[in-house]
Amino acid sequence: MPPVINKEECIGCGVCAEICPCDVLHMTGEDVPQITYPEECWHCNACVLDCAVQAIKLRVPLPAMMLYLEARE
Amino acid sequence: MIGINNIPVECDVLVVGGGIGGLMAAISAADQGAKVVIAEKSNTKRSGSGSTGNDHFQCYIPEVHGEDMEPILREMNECLTGGYLDQDLTALFLKESFDRVKDWNKWGIDMRPHGTWEFNGHAMPGRPRIFLKYAGANQKSVLTNEALKRGVTIFNKLPIAEVITNTSGEVIGAIGVSIESEKPELKIFRANNVILTTGTTNRLYSPKTGGMMFNLGFCPSCAGNGRAAAYRAGAKLINLDIPNTHAGPKFFNRCGKATWIGVLKDYEGKPIGPFVTKPSKELGDITADIWHGVFGIKNKAGEPVYMDCSETSEEDIQYMLWGLTQEGDTSLLNYMDDEGIDVRKHMVEFSTYEPFLIGRGIEINDKAATNVPGLFAAGDEVGNFRADIAGAATFGWIAGKSAAERAQDIKTFEPAEKSSIVEEKKQFYSELLSREAGTANPSWKEVNIALQQIMTDYAGVEVRSEHLFKAGLKYLKDLKGKAISTMYCQNSHELMRCLEVLDLIQLGELIMLTAQDRKETRGKHNRVDYPFTNPLNNNRFITVQEVEGTAEIKWRDRH
Contact B234, B516 (CB under 8 A): no
Residue A62 contacts B where some CB pair is shorter than 8 Å: no
B56: Cα separation from own chain's centroid: 16
Q: What is the DSSP letter of B537?
A: G
Sheet with strand B361-362: strands edge to edge: B361-362, B237-238, B540-547, B550-557
* pLDDT class of B283 with cuts at 50, 70, 90: confident
Is there a domain that residue A73 lies in? no
| Nearest-angstrom CA–CA distance, A41 and B223 | 15
Residue B44 contacts A where some CB pair is shorter than 8 Å: no
What is the per-residue pLDDT for B240? 98
Mean pLDDT of B396-408: 98
H runs (alpha helix) in B32-86: 62-65, 70-78
Q: Do B493 and A45 touch (CB under 8 A)?
A: no
Mean pLDDT of B484-488: 98
Contact B432, B488 (CB under 8 A): yes
Q: Do B347 and A68 touch (CB under 8 A)?
A: yes
Is there a domain that residue A71 lies in? no
Is there a domain that residue A49 lies in? yes
pLDDT by residue (tens digit) across B424-481?
999 999 999 999 998 999 999 999 999 999 999 999 998 999 999 999 999 999 999 9
ipTM of the complex as predicted: 0.97
Chain A contacts of B252, Cβ < 8 Å? 43, 60, 64-66
H runs (alpha helix) in B205-362: 225-232, 287-290, 294-300, 314-326, 330-339
Mean pLDDT of B169-187: 97
Q: Do B216 and A23 touch (CB under 8 A)?
A: no
Mean pLDDT of B511-536: 97
Q: What share of chain B is helix, strand, coil (3-state, %, to 5)?
A: 40, 20, 45
- Give the number of A-B residue pairs with CB atoms closer than 8 Å: 133
Mean pLDDT of B509-534: 97
H runs (alpha helix) in B221-313: 225-232, 287-290, 294-300
Contact A44, B140 (CB under 8 A): no
Q: For the domain that residue A41 is a member of, what is the CATH number? A: 3.30.70.20
pLDDT by residue (tens digit) across B111-147?
999 999 999 988 888 899 999 999 999 999 999 999 9
Residue A67 contacts B where some CB pair is shorter than 8 Å: yes
Backbone angles phi, psi at B114, to 5 degrees: -110, 25
What is the per-residue pLDDT for A2? 87
pLDDT by residue (tens digit) across A2-56?
899 999 999 999 999 999 999 999 998 778 999 999 999 999 999 999 999 999 9
Is there a domain that residue A72 lies in? no
Question: What's the domain range around A17?
Answer: 4-64
| Nearest-angstrom CA–CA distance, B177 and B74 | 43
Range name among B182-196, B286-300, B474-488 with the lowest pLDDT average: B286-300
pLDDT score of B237 more than 80: yes
Q: From the CA of A48, how many Å to the nearest CA of chain B?
A: 9
Q: From the CA of B285, how many Å to the nearest CA of chain A?
A: 16
Is there a domain that residue A42 lies in? yes
* Rg of chain B over all Cα atoms, to the nearest angstrom: 23
Q: Number of folded domains in chain A?
A: 1
Q: ∠ at Cα B317 (B316, B318), nearest 5°?
A: 90
Chain B contacts of A33, Cβ < 8 Å? none
Contact B542, B360 (CB under 8 A): no
Q: Do B252 and A22 touch (CB under 8 A)?
A: no
Other CB atoms within a 10 A radius of the CB of residue B343 amount to 23
| Nearest-angstrom CA–CA distance, B477 and B549 | 15
Average pLDDT, chain B: 96
pLDDT score of B497 more than 70: yes
Backbone angles phi, psi at B189, to 5 degrees: -110, 135
Q: Do B43 and A67 touch (CB under 8 A)?
A: no
Is there a domain that residue A22 lies in? yes
Q: What is the DSSP letter of B444?
A: H
Residues 250-269 of B with CB under 8 A from A: 250-254, 265, 267-269
Residue A35 contacts B where some CB pair is shorter than 8 Å: no
pLDDT score of B307 more than 70: yes
Picking from A23, A43, A45, the nearest residue to B215 by CB comes out as A43
Chain A residue nearest residue B270, CA to CA:
A72
Residue A42 contacts B where some CB pair is shorter than 8 Å: yes
